[in-house]
Amino acid sequence: MNTSEFSLNFQAFVISTVLSFLSVHSSVVEKPIFKWLNKQTERERSLLVQKHSLKTEQASINMVDEFAKYSKIQRQINSIDGKLEDIRGNKPTNNILVQLGFTYGVKFVLVVMLIVLSLYYRYTPVFYLGNKINLMPFTHFICYPNDINCVSFYFWVMCSAAVSRMLQML
């Protein structure tokens, strides 16, 4: 086995393991992107600062003794809440179709990548087990379409995905 075959085998091993893990745990990819899309704008931050200052001012006022002043501050807070809802409602990630499309879109891309790589690496064993190990009842299942005692890309993707699902249950 020369070094180029070993690097290709190592490459297949790493790529299949990472993509299998990501296909099961796609939220690892989705959450940072959603967080980035939902980050607060400068306008939102300034409105939240105004709202916080009005709330602290309102907390210092006795509602019974100064009801008019308390109500005026409450109307300002309600106005700020309305503006915040308008700003947050215009974000694209608040649409349920966008969220579902993005969630399943990431999974779809990862699965398509696994399929393409399965075709590309179909005759490349991920690693060789050696002659001392005999996997007799399962040899053809583990090795297909490679030689005996080689772990195929297909089998390694299935094993990696199964281990990822087991880790997900923990």
Phi, psi angle pair for 132, to nearest 5°: -75, -20
Q: Is the pLDDT of residue 14 over 80?
A: yes
Residue 53 CB coordination number (10 Å): 10
Q: Is the pLDDT of residue 71 over 60?
A: yes
Where are the strands (E) in the chain, listed by range? 127-128, 150-151
**Percentage of the residues of the chain whose pLDDT score is greater than 70:** 92
Question: What are the structure tokens assigned to 82, written together?
Answer: 């309305």
Higher pLDDT, 66 or 8: 66
Q: Is the pLDDT of residue 7 over 60?
A: no
Whether 125 contacts 6, CB under 8 Å? no
| 28-45 average pLDDT score | 79
What single DSSP character describes residue 3?
A: H
Rg (CA), the chain: 28
Q: Is the pLDDT of residue 117 over 80?
A: yes
Give the list of residues 6+ apart from residue 161 with CB closer than 8 angstroms, or none.
20, 23, 24
Domains in the chain with CATH codes = 3-36+94-169 (no CATH), 39-90 (1.10.287)
pLDDT of 93 reads 62
CA atoms within 13 A on the CB side of 2: 1
Mean pLDDT of the chain: 81
Tell me, rounded to whole angstroms, the distance of Cα 111 from its chain centroid. Answer: 14
Whether 70 contacts 57, CB under 8 Å? no
Strand 127-128 to 150-151 pairing: antiparallel
Higher pLDDT, 76 or 128: 76
Q: Is the pLDDT of residue 104 over 60?
A: yes
Q: Is the pLDDT of residue 5 over 60?
A: no
Q: Is the pLDDT of residue 4 over 50?
A: no
pLDDT confidence band for 151 (50 / 70 / 90): confident
Distances (CA, A) of 54 to 4, 65, 139, 162: 67, 18, 72, 53
